[in-house]
Structures are given as C-alpha cells and as structure tokens.
C-alpha cells in the first residue's frame, strides 16, 4: 500500500505529480530488470499487439481462401502451421484471429471496468442501500459457477459475439465491484477527502477528483490480471459453439474444428490456435503479476 500512497495520493500539485511519475517509471524499470519473465511477457504482448493491429495485412494467404488440393497438409515451408481440411492456411488463420480474440477480451474488460467501477465506488463511498444492492448483486453472481453462468447468459441473450462480451463482463463484475468498493470505502473519510469536503467540493466532484484517481492503479492491475481470464472464457464459449460462427477465424472455434482430427493424428489444426491462445493468456497473467509488483509491492506472492 505504501508505494501506492506515496506515488498516487498527492495529485494536488503538478510538480509533485511529475516527481511521482518519474519515481514510478524508475520503479517499473527496476521491476522489469529484476524479473526478466515480465520482460518476456511484455515482448509477447508487443507481438500480440502487432498481430491484432496489422495481422490481416501481413499474412501470406487469405484466412478464408480454401484450396482443396492442399487440404490437411502438415506444417511446411509454404504453410508454416499446415492447412486444415479445406486447405486453408492455418498460420494466416491463427494470426488473423488475434484481432477478434483480443477485441472480445478488451471490450469485455473495459465494460466490466466501467460497470464494476461505478457500482463499487458508489457502494463504497455512499454506503447505505446502494451498498446493499451492489453487494447482493455481486453475491448472487458469485453463487453460480462462472463459466456456467456465462453459458446461460449467452443462451438467453442470443448467440452472438456481442453477447459473449457482455457475459464475460457480467461474470467478472463481482471482482471489480468488490475491489472498487473496498478501495473507495477506506478513503471515504481519509484526510484529503475531508479537506476537499471542507473546501466546499460537492460529493460528486470528490468522487471524480479524489477517489477515482487514487483507486485507478489498482483497477488497472485488475484489468490486466483479468484479461487472460477473459480471453480464456471467450475462447471456451466459442469452443462449445457459442458466439463466433465458422468460418470466422477465432482461436476457440479453430481448436474445436481441429479436435476431430486429433484422433487421426492431424495435430496441427488444433495445436497452433490452442498454443496461440495459451501464450496470450500466459502473457497477460505474467504481465498482470508484473504490473501488480510495480503498483502494489506488498501483494507479491
């Protein structure tokens, strides 16, 4: 906690802010140097980002173009990741799929950040009935096995990608709401909030200018920690046939398409999208851990 308070809480003066920003940067450099794994994760993240942004432009084949003459070929120089049963180039499909998988995860995390953040801050700062409602809602969601609830939500809302984003956001809601609530609650009557109140700031303004900036770092760490889970969850849903429709390239559905070929030994169709998925989740989990070490050194495990 101490690092957080020294670097984030004095938001009043700009020079203080600059000083703390430099300190944070130094600390970040130190953490990455101390922990090379975080460095590797960051490099992986850059690769993922490149694939997501310019992936469709750099792949050698169209991800949808089938070529039955070259169907079910193992990895070769022409087709680095082999071809599937329709002769589509797996490398192109895996790279192009990055954008959709990342987009689902980013949008769902942004959505839950907004929902959970607003609800949690309101609950922690104002207390009373808002706290009750938010707490009960979070408890009820937590009463379900989360993946099962996501299945139910997608089934009820309709089988689309948007609803996968919404379902993934809803099942993460309790986590975000609880963290935001706890962090807002311990600052509700702290010195700088009372000072702001005494100088005549409205409660709404206090939330926006005092509470929100201070709980931001912890929420951002939470976002990177849940990114991996969001990718995993969305890919799991599309693996069982929800959301993304074939022939759209997406890692979960590509693993599902390749699953039938595993038993006959054609491993590459399921292997490469699965490996990409695993690397992406691994990267975000490590990145989240590294980010947490920077923001909140006491929670290191």
Partner 1 sequence: MLSQIARRLLTALPTLIGVIIVTFLLTRVLPGDTAAYFAGPAATPQAIEEVKKKLGLDRSLPVQFVSYVEALAKGDLGASLSTGQTVVKDIRTRLPASAELTLAGLVLGIVVAVPLGILAAVRQGSWIDHLCRVVATAGVSLPVFFSGLLLVYLFYYRLGWAPPPMGRLDVFSTAPNSITGFYLIDSLIARDFETFRAAFAQLILPAVTLGMFALAPIARMTRASMLAALSSEFVRTAKASGLSTRAVIVTYAFRNAMLPVVTTLGMVFSFLLGANVLVEKVFAWPGIGSYAVDALIKSDFAPVQGFVLTMAILYVMLNLLIDILYGVIDPRVRIEA
Binding span for partner 1 by CB under 8 A among 60-68, 199-207, 215-223, 254-262: 254-262
Contact between 223 and partner 1 per CB under 8 A: no
Contact between 94 and partner 1 per CB under 8 A: no
Shortest distance in whole angstroms from residue 278 CB to partner 1: 6
**CB count in 10 Å sphere of residue 72:** 16
Nearer to partner 1, 10 or 297 (CB): 297
Phi-psi category of residue 249: left, alpha or beta, with phi > 0 → left and psi -120 to 50 → alpha:
beta
DSSP string, 253-288: HHHHHHHHHHTTT-THHHHHHHHHHHHHHHHHHHHH
- Single out the residue of 57, 156, 198, 204 in contact with partner 1 (rule: CB under 8 A): 156
Nearer to partner 1, 138 or 215 (CB): 138
State whether residue 163 is helix, strand or coil: helix
For residue 283, give both structure tokens.
């990267």
Contact between 198 and partner 1 per CB under 8 A: no
- Single out the residue of 55, 63, 120, 228 in contact with partner 1 (rule: CB under 8 A): 228
Say how many residues touch partner 1, by CB under 8 A. 48
Shortest distance in whole angstroms from residue 11 CB to partner 1: 33
- Single out the residue of 22, 71, 259, 298 in contact with partner 1 (rule: CB under 8 A): 259
Nearer to partner 1, 217 or 258 (CB): 258
- Single out the residue of 148, 186, 195, 208 in contact with partner 1 (rule: CB under 8 A): 148
Contact between 152 and partner 1 per CB under 8 A: yes
Residues in region 158-197 near partner 1 by CB under 8 A: 158
State whether residue 217 is helix, strand or coil: helix
Dihedral angle over CA of 64, 70, 74, 79, nearest 10? -60
Closest CA to 9 of 210, 221, 220: 210
Check: CB of residue 276 under 8 Å from CB of residue 295: no
Distance CA 86, CA 235 (A): 22
Distance CA 118, CA 168 (A): 18
Shortest distance in whole angstroms from residue 50 CB to partner 1: 21
Nearer to partner 1, 218 or 281 (CB): 281
Contact between 215 and partner 1 per CB under 8 A: no
Residue with tokens 């895996």: 94
Q: What are phi and psi of 89, to 5 degrees?
A: -75, 115
Check: CB of residue 24 under 8 Å from CB of residue 7: yes
Contact between 246 and partner 1 per CB under 8 A: no
Report how far apart, in Å, the C-alpha atoms of 260 and of each of 10, 121, 164, 254, 257 are. 58, 47, 24, 11, 7
Contact between 230 and partner 1 per CB under 8 A: no
Contact between 262 and partner 1 per CB under 8 A: yes
Contact between 153 and partner 1 per CB under 8 A: yes
Contact between 264 and partner 1 per CB under 8 A: yes
Task: Summarize as ranges the residues that interact with partner 1 (CB under 8 A).
Answer: 136, 139-141, 143-153, 155-158, 228, 232, 235-236, 239-242, 252, 255-256, 258-259, 262-265, 267, 270-271, 274-275, 277-278, 281-282, 285-286, 301
């Amino acid at each position: 906690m101490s690092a957080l308070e020294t670097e984030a809480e004095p938001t009043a003066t700009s020079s203080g802010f600059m000083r703390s920003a430099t300190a944070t940067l130094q600390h970040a450099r130190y953490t990455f140097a101390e922990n090379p794994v975080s460095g590797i994760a960051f490099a992986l993240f850059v690769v993922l980002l490149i694939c997501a942004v310019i992936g469709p432009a750099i792949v050698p084949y169209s991800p949808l173009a089938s070529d039955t003459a070259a169907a079910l070929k193992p990895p070769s120089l022409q087709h680095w990741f082999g071809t599937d049963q329709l002769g589509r180039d797996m490398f192109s499909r895996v790279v192009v799929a990055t954008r959709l998988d990342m987009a689902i995860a980013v949008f769902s995390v942004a959505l839950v950040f907004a929902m959970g953040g607003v609800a949690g801050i309101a609950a922690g700062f104002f207390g009373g009935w808002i706290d009750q409602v938010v707490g009960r809602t979070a408890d009820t969601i937590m009463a379900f096995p989360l993946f099962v609830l996501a299945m139910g939500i997608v089934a009820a809302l309709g089988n689309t990608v948007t609803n996968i984003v919404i379902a993934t956001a809803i099942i993460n809601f309790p986590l975000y709401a609880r963290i935001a609530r706890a962090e807002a609650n311990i600052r509700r009557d702290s010195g700088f909030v009372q000072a702001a109140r005494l100088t005549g700031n409205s409660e709404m303004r206090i939330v926006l200018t005092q509470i929100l900036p201070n709980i931001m770092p912890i929420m951002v760490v939470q976002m990177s920690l849940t990114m991996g889970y969001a990718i995993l969850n969305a890919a799991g849903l599309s693996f069982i046939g929800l959301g993304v429709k074939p022939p759209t390239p997406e890692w979960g559905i590509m693993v599902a398409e390749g699953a039938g070929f595993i038993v006959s030994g054609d491993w590459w169709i399921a292997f490469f999208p699965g490996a990409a998925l695993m690397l992406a989740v691994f990267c975000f989990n490590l990145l989240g851990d590294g980010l947490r070490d920077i923001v909140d050194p006491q929670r290191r495990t």
